[in-house]
Amino acid sequence: MLTIFACPKPFLGLFNIIQRNAIQSWRRLGPEVEVILMGNDEGTSEVAKEFGIHHIPDVVRNQFGTPLIRSLFDQAQEKARYDRLCFVNADIILMSNFIQATKRVVVEMPQSLMVGRRWNLDLKEPVDFNANWEEWLLTEVAYRGKLYYHFAIDYFVYPKGIWGEIPPFAIGRPGWDNWILYQAYSQKMPIIDLTKMTTVVHQNHDYSHHPQGWAGAMKGEESKRNLKLASAVAQVYSLLDAQYQLTRTGVKRRVTPYYSPFYLYRHLVVLSESYPFLKPLVHLIKVTGNRFFSHQ
C-alpha cells in the first residue's frame, strides 16, 4: 500500500535515539507498509539490517557531501514495492492514525498529495514499543507538544511518477519542501492536509550534525542555493495551500479567504518580483513571519 523512505543523519548521540524511535514507529504501521533507508551515513546500514528493512546506500551528493532530494526521490520511486510513496524526515514518529488517514484519502481522492503539520516534542529517551506506546505518546503530545507552523513540511505522501525532474536541492536545507507544494499546486494536483486526523510527532533536536550548527544548516551556502533553485514565489507555498483537509467525515474542501494575511503576503511576494522596491517589506514580513502566520 505505502513505501516510506527517509535519509537519516549519522546514528550518533541523540540522533541515534530519535531516529530509532522514528523508524520503529514506521515498522509498526502494518504489513502493507515498506520502509527504505537511504544513504551511507554512520549506522544506517547497521540499523537497516537490525530492523530488517531495505537499504539504498548510494545516493548522489553535492560538493558538501549532502544528499540531493532528486536522487532520493528517483531511487525510491525505482525501488519501491508500492505505487504510493511517503518521504518523511527521519526524526518523525508516525502512529496508526497516519496510515488510517492515508488509506481513507487513497479511497476518496487517489491522485493527490498528502501533507500535514507536525507536533514538536522534547523526547530524548528510547520509546518503549513493547508497552502502550501510542497512548503514552498521545498523552505526552497533549501535555507538552506544540503544533508547529505551516511552512515546515516533514512528509509527503504521493503516487509514483508525478514530479518530473526535481532541481538539485540539498536535503535538510530550506526551500525544497515549499517547492514540492508549489509544483503540485502548479500541476493542479489536489493537496490534502491530514493534520486534523493525524498526530505526527517531530522529536526536537539541535544542529550538532552540521559543523556550523543551525546557522550553517539554515543560512549557509547550501541554503542559499536551495532558495535560489526554489525561486521566491515557490518559497511562499506552505501547508495553507492545501485545498482540502481530511475530517472525520472524509475529505472536505477547505476555503481560506483571499483577504487573509497569508494570501496578502503571497500577493506581495509576487508583486515584488516585478517591483523590487517592495523586497525590503517582503523581507521584514518574512523574518517575523513565524508569529504572523502560525495561527492562520
How high is the pLDDT of residue 210?
Answer: 58
What's the whole-model pTM score?
0.89
How high is the pLDDT of residue 265?
Answer: 76
What residues are paired with 245 via a beta bridge?
Answer: 193, 252
Q: What is the side-by-side order of every strand in the sheet holding 119-121?
A: 92-93, 201-203, 119-121, 146-147
Query: Contact 175/91 with Cβ under 8 angstroms?
Result: no
How high is the pLDDT of residue 295?
Answer: 43
How high is the pLDDT of residue 274?
Answer: 74
Q: Tell me the C-alpha distance between 210 and 247, whole Å.
A: 39
Best CATH choice for the domain 2-255 from the list 3.90.1150.10, 3.90.550.10, 3.20.10.10, 1.20.910.10: 3.90.550.10
How high is the pLDDT of residue 212?
Answer: 57
Domain-wise residue ranges, the chain: 2-255, 257-296
Q: What is the pLDDT along the chain (296 residues), one digit of tens a residue?
A: 999 999 999 999 999 999 999 999 999 999 999 999 999 999 999 999 999 999 999 999 999 999 999 999 999 999 999 999 999 999 999 999 999 999 999 999 999 999 999 999 999 999 999 999 999 999 999 999 999 988 889 999 999 999 989 999 999 888 999 999 989 988 999 999 999 999 999 999 766 665 655 555 556 788 889 888 988 777 778 898 899 999 999 999 987 666 667 777 777 777 777 777 777 877 777 666 555 454 44
How high is the pLDDT of residue 296?
Answer: 45
How high is the pLDDT of residue 215?
Answer: 59
How high is the pLDDT of residue 129?
Answer: 95
